[in-house]
Each structure stands twice: as C-alpha cells, then as structure tokens.
Structure 1
Amino acid sequence: MNMKFTVVGAGAMGLRYGVLLQAAGNDVDFVDAWEPHVTAMRANGGVYVTRDHEDRHLVPVNVYYPEEYHKQDRDVLIFFLKQMQLSDMLKRCAHFFNDQQYVLTCMNGMGHVDKLLQYFKPQHVIAGTALVATILDGPGEVDFVGKVGAGTMNLANYTEKPDDMTQRVVAELTKGHFNPTLTTNFMGTLMAKVVFNSVVNTLCTLFEITMGEFADYKGADDLARQLVDEAYDVAERMNVTMLNTRQEEMDSINYVSKVANPLHYPSMYQDMTHNRPTEVDYINGYIVKMGQACHYEAKTHAFLTHLVHLAEHTRQQNVTQSPAVDTVEQQELA
C-alpha cells in the first residue's frame, strides 16, 4: 500500500526525495518557506527537473507555505533543512503535527534530532544519511546528479528497534531507488556522515575546490586521516560504535571524491559562495563539543571550525550580492 508523505523543506534534497517517492506511486506534498521558489513552482504547475542537466521536464508537485498547510493524515514527514533553519520551521509547522506521524530526516550535521524529539515520539523518529548529489539551480529548477539509482543512504530508528512502519518506509525508499540500508546503530550511522562532511565539506569550502580537486592533492589522505582519527577518538570516548571502521570511512571519502562526485562542490561551499551561514558548527563544531564532553581536545576540528568562521566573516565584510541571490537554496552533496 502506498504512503502519504509531506516533505518539509523543498530544497535540492527535499525535492529529490519527494519527487522520486511520488514517482514510486506515493502521495507527496511539499512545504517550503522560500517565496521565490514556491511562487515559481506554483506558476509553472510544478518543478522543472533535469538529470545531469539534461532532459529538462516539468514534474507536477503540490507545494504550500507552512501556515497554509493543514493536512494531518500524513504517514511520514520528511525534513530537509539547514540545521539553523529547523527550529523556526518546526514552530511554523507544529499545527499539522500529531502523535501518529513518523519523521524521516537525512539532514547534514548533528543537532536536528534533539529538535525533532521536542515534537515527535522517540519511537517515531527515523534518521539517516544520504550520499547523493543534487543541485537547486534556482527557483523551481532542480538537477539530480547521477544516473537513476546513483547514491546510497543509511538510516536507523532513534530507539534502534525497527517496526512495521519503518519497514514500509524502507520499502518505499527502495522503490524510489535510494538504495537504503536499515541499521540498528543510530549514533554510529549519523556520525559516519558527520565525519565524512567534516573532511570533504570543510576542506573543499575553505579552498573553493571540487571533491576531485581535493582528492588529487597528494597529501589529501594525510589530511583526511588526521580528521578521521580525531573524530573516531572522540566517538570511542563517547562509547559510540561507528558504522564504519576508520579505514572504511577513509575509503568512503576517497570513493565519493574520486569516483562518484569528483566534479561537484559540497553544500557548505554553496552556502559560503552565496554568503549564507554554513553548518560548520553542526559538523566539525559538533565533534569539538563531543570531545569537550569527554575531556578530549579535537584540536584540528576546532581549528577548521575557526577557519570557516573567519572565511565567513571576511566575505561578509565585502558582500555585494543582492538578497535574491543570497537566498538561493543550493545544495549539492547532502
């Protein structure tokens, strides 16, 4: 039986998940607050979708502003927002939440789960990670990078006890070609992506390079290894069992950077170049805070967090872009 989904946050990743779940036969609505984007989709009767910037076609979608959406019969709410946007959006959407709904999220960084738990039952929270590239080219325009079935995702129940609804969600994600793997290791699953992003997103952003350009540097493995080892040292002290071994995490960084997405810029880079706040505090900064909680200094992650904020500060001193450009919701690699 098909399901009813509402995607909160119709940016690059939200559209990819919603459009493909809709194509798999599910009833999907979108809720978003970016006015130019909502206006464009309503005017066009949907969102224009390309794959690797080819085969541009219109996909009909139902899109609403938070305050005008009132459906409470949805099986699953999918959240794809920037970490710093989530609290406000949850408040704006709370009127259509109920205690029967499940939540799925694959947002970057850490901190979102605690916010979601303020509104939803722990046994109804499913979180994960997605390794797939998607670009929002502008209002009403999204590009799915890679062939059908490109990318993978891992997900886990907050309680680490999969139930029938979780299995239904996994089945629909499989039909949508997301290649999901369900685990029973919640923190280890989420931390695998935090560690990945703490290397690739942060370094590519600071030096304004693609993932492939980073991987081509002869010292890339040394840089990555230092950050991975430091993060894993923290995880071990916090009694978090990581989903991957240290070497498997290194292998994932290399594969995505060299083979899967060598020509693409991470989402943090997109935020930096559009003079938006980055999520570094929820990625490298989160590792630093975890370390502090167990009396361990993640010095390299702390240093990189400061460097990103310095770069943000420097760019803000010379902002010349218009507000319309600054609010473009681009995201490449989740």
Structure 2
Amino acid sequence: MNQTQPPQRPLSIAVMGAGSVGCYFGALLARAGHSVTLIGRESHMQAVRERGLRLQTATEDVCIPMAASTSAQAVSGADVLLFCVKSTDTEAAATQIRPYLAAHTQVLSLQNGADNDQRLRQVLGAQPVAAAVVYVATAMAGPGHVRHFGRGELEIAPCPQGAEIARQFSSAGIPTQVSEHVLAALWQKLIINCVYNALSALTQQPYGWLVAQADVPAVMQDIAAECKAVALADGVALPASVDQAVAAIARTMPGQLSSTAQDLARGKPTEIDHLNGYVVRRGQALGIATPANRLLQVLVQLKQAADLKA
C-alpha cells in the first residue's frame, strides 16, 4: 500500500548578514512558504520592508515580501540560521547572535574560506553548527535588489537537521545535499577563490577576460599548485577534479567579477586574509612556501589601504 508522506512543516529561517548570497537563498525560501527574516544593513532592510526583496534572474524580476531587521535579536526562534557574514566578521557577528539562539537552531555557515565553522564553534559552544559549500553567482544591484547570474546549489556537512534541511531547501528550488566531504569541497572552492578573486579585484575584470590574457593561466597554475600543496600537507583529500573545477569557472562564468573585486569597487573591506591569506598562514604553519598567494594577499591589502587614503 502506498502511503502519502505528511506535508512538510515550513521552517523558520533567519539570514544573518543578508548580502547577495543570503538574499538570494532567502528569497527562494520565502517564496516557497517558509518564514524568512533577513538581518543586514539598514539601507537594504528598509527597502525590503517597504517593497519586498527584488529578485532579478535571467527569467524573472519579482518582489518577494519577507521580514527584515538590523538587530541580531531577530534570530530568536529560528529553526535554521544562514550565517552569511564576511569571514572578517565571523567572531563579532557570532557574539552578537549567541544570546538569542534557541538550543535547536541549526547554524549553517554559508561563507567563503575553509575554517568559519570551526571559528563559529569557538564562540557558540554547543550550538549545532555545520559548514555549507555555496555554488552561486549573485550580486546586490541596489538596496533590497539582488541579481542572480548562475547556479544556486548547497552542499552541507552532516548535522542533526541535515536531511530535513536538504529536503525542504531542495523543494524550494535550492538543490541541497548532505555530504561527508564538505571540507574537501570547501578547500576546492577556496582554491578557486584564491586563483580568481585577487586577480579579478586588482584588474576589475571578469574571469573570462583574465584567462584570455597572456601568461595569466600559468600564474593561475602556480597559485593553485601552492594551495594544493598546503591542502595535502594539512591532510585534506582534495577531489580529483579540482583542476577541472578551477578551469570551468572561467568557461561557465566568463562575465563574473569576483566578490573581492566587488568589495574593492565599493570601498568595502575584502576577505583576502581568509582566502589567499589563509593559505599563506597554513603554509607557514606546515612549512610550505606560498609566494604567489602571499603576493596577491599583499597587493590587495595595498589596494585597500590606498583606497582608504584617497
């Protein structure tokens, strides 16, 4: 006898650090009937409160009503917290939300870098925390206005609510899987970011343009080789497809500017110390030389300092 599955109970979802990634996933979840609260900067949150969140993709341009706040207290009672702040703000934001998290709230780190879940656990203690690998191209086009350029999948580490989150998110149009190999996937994404982000930021050019320039692919290979050497020394079993994954980014997202490029263009702090800088620090700890990554880290730091001085 076929048994009908019981209907899924909508989730209560908070998005801490509602930039383009958090707004995109929040929009899909709210449209699917989940209770979503965005937490972010006042200019964006005011626009969402007044008009809803504007979601613009290749096939639609819609406004989706949802709650929006600037207060960390808005995480109270959430079943799932999408933690989307910049890696530079992990500890500070975690400290802000810690008093308001329910014991059952599953915190998912949707951040760049390979160690944010560990840093969150150091602040949040026994709170359920899991890393998530994000595959999506988005950007904020204005207050309360997110643009989607491609993809939109999540890969999350095993956690108490993992299977239910994967079911509910997938039903909302966010293909989500629970994986034992999230650390390797985080490192693969870190390598991609190390290869592309700083070069895109320093030139303010998209990925497709970069790889078409003479000698740039060779430089990218040097950057990736250093990253892979550090990962190997750190005991991370990288996917066999890591080189293909790095090369595929320029083919699948040729017009995309890196998040680091977007931050520099807007005069915002970048995450360079948690991308190339993380590889440099782990390399130092493990005795692996990382001159190409160090140079990119320093060049982006110099650019940030010069822009602040101007």
Same fold (TM over 0.5): yes
Alignment match, 1:19: 27
Task: Name the CA distance, whole Å, in 2 between partners of 1:123 and 1:189.
Answer: 23
Asked if 1:29 is matched to 2:37, the reply is yes
1:86 offset after TM fit, Å?
2.7
Contact 2:76 2:102 in 1 (8 A): no
Does the 8 Å CA contact 1:215/1:254 hold for their aligned counterparts? Answer: no
Aligned to 2:54: 48
| CA apart distance, 1:70 | 6.2
Gapped runs of 5+ residues in structure 1? 319-334
Q: Which amino acid aligns with 1:76?
A: V
- 1:256 and 2:252 correspond: no
Partner of 1:145: 149
Identity of aligned residues (%): 24
- For 1:142-291, what aligned pairs fall within 5 Å after superposition? 142-146=146-150, 150-157=151-158, 162-163=159-160, 165-242=161-238, 244-245=239-240, 248-258=241-251, 260-291=252-283
Relative contact order: is structure 1 or structure 2 higher (C-alpha 8 Å, sep ≥ 6)?
1
What SS is found at the alignment partner of 1:69? Answer: helix
Residue by residue over 1:93-127, the C-alpha shift from the partner in whole angstroms, topping out at 9 and shown as x without a partner, is 22321322111122112442233103445682221
Amino acid at match of 2:44: H
Shift of 1:286: 0.3
Q: Does 1:108 align with 2:112?
A: yes
Q: CA deviation at 1:205?
A: 0.9
TM-score by length of 2: 0.90
Q: Which amino acid aligns with 2:22?
A: G
Q: Sort the Cα spacing of 1:227 and 1:181 in 2 relative to 1 into closer, same or farther, 3 A.
A: farther
Contact 2:20 / 2:138 at 8 angstroms: preserved in 1? yes
Q: TM-score, normalised by structure 1?
A: 0.84
- What is the Cα-based RMSD across aligned positions, in Å? 2.0
Residue in 1 that maps onto 2:74: 69
| Aligned equivalents of 2:126, 2:253: Cα separation in 1 | 34
The unaligned stretches of length 5 or more in structure 2 are 1-7
Change (3 A) 1:123 1:184: farther
Check conservation: 2:130, 2:157, Cα contact below 8 A. yes
TM-superposition CA deviations, 1:199-234 (whole Å, max 9, x none) = 111111112110111122243432222111111111
Letter in 2 for 1:63: A
- Per-residue CA distance 1:160-208 (angstroms, 9 max, x = gap): xx54x11111112222333334321242121111111001111111121
Matches of 1:187 and 1:292, distance apart in 2? 20
TM-fit CA distance, 1:50: 1.2
Match of 2:3 in 1: none
Q: CA contact under 8 A between 2:14 and 2:80: conserved in structure 1?
A: yes
SS at match of 2:63: strand
1:94 aligns with 2:90: no
* Letter of the 1:145 counterpart: F
